[in-house]
Amino acid sequence: MGFWSASDFSQETGAVVIDRRTERVLFIFDEPRQMYTLPRSKMDNIEALMQSPLDSAQTKSGLRCSRLLLPRLAKRYIVPPDKNWDNVRAKTAYMPSQLTTDPFYVSFNTQWEKIEGVNWPDGYQVLTYWYGGIIDVDADSADELAPLDEPESQRSPYQLLPIQAALSRLEGKDAVAHGALSMFSAIWFDARKLLEHKQ
């Protein structure tokens, strides 16, 4: 019978950081993946990691970022009329009266790493806690942000892409980041309407 040990797990934070004015999403160049994608952070001190989830985004891009308040999500299970729990469905509900900077999404993924001198890779389970963030831009520096999509050959420290373009870029290349951005997109557009209606 298989089992899990503490060493089988690794924790990290990920961030979907958006420019409110243009609704463009921050991508940074990820060396291990050799691609532009959503920023992620790892450190041995888990408590410090959770307290500063945007550090990687700020350090690698050079931009000032802040945590983004988002409506808290609640999951409700809908029992079918026939009471057959095999057909139960989950429904996510927005709670616009409760805003939080806690993670809006958690992903679970298996990651493999090659070890020098060993014939087989080492695998472990990665838990990624995804946070929302915004780029702090003042009027004087607004024009200094990178263009929509810099050519990768120029290796800019970051890129800013519209949400749909970012989703297309991630699809088939970084499934974990694609899932997080898909969830963020739903919250960003749907919950924003709830908040506007409430106001």
Q: Is 5 among the domain residues?
A: no
Query: Could you give the count of Cα atoms lying within 13 Å of 191 in the half-sphere of its Cβ?
Result: 22
Question: Can you give the residue range of the structural domain that contains 34?
Answer: 12-198
How confident is the model over 76-111, as pLDDT tens digits? 777 778 877 777 776 677 666 788 999 999 999 887
Residues 151-196: pLDDT tens digits?
A: 555 678 899 999 999 999 999 999 999 999 999 999 988 766 665 5
28 is a domain residue: yes
Does residue 89 sit within a domain?
yes
The average pLDDT across 32-39 equals: 93
- What pLDDT is recorded for position 199? 45
Per-residue pLDDT tens digits for 114-158: 667 766 666 778 999 999 999 997 644 544 565 545 555 567 889
Task: Answer whether residue 2 is part of any domain.
Answer: no
**40: helix, strand or coil:** strand
Alpha-carbon separation of residue 3 from 6, 35, 109, 112, 150 (angstroms): 10, 34, 17, 18, 45
Number of domains in the chain: 1
Q: Does residue 61 lie within any of the structural domains?
A: yes
Instruction: Compute, in degrees rounded to 10, the torsion defined by CA atoms 67, 69, 70, 75.
Output: 90
State whether residue 49 is helix, strand or coil: helix
pLDDT band of residue 61 (cuts 50, 70, 90) is very high
Cα 87 from chain centroid?
Answer: 30
Query: Is 43 within a domain?
Result: yes
Find the CATH number of the domain harbouring 67.
3.90.79.10
